Amino acid sequence: MLPIITEEMSSEIFTEAFQDVQAWRKNMVQYLKEENPEVNTAILEVAKHDENIDLKAVALGAYLSYRLIELAAENDSMAIEV
Which residue segment(s) compose the domain that 23 sits in? 7-81
Residue-wise pLDDT for 43-78, tens only, equals: 888 877 877 888 888 889 999 999 999 999 998 877
pLDDT at 15: 96
pLDDT at 16 over 90: yes
Instruction: Give the dihedral of Cα atoms 68, 54, 21, 27; nearest 10 deg.
Output: 70
Is 1 inside a domain boundary? Answer: no
CA dist 43 and 29 (Å) reads 10
Residue-wise pLDDT for 17-47, tens only, equals: 999 999 999 999 899 999 999 998 998 888 7
In this structure, what DSSP letter does residue 32 have? H
Is 18 inside a domain boundary? Answer: yes
Q: What is the pTM of this model?
A: 0.84
pLDDT band at 80 (very low <50, low <70, confident <90, very high): low
Domain count, the chain: 1
Is 75 inside a domain boundary? Answer: yes
Is 2 inside a domain boundary? Answer: no
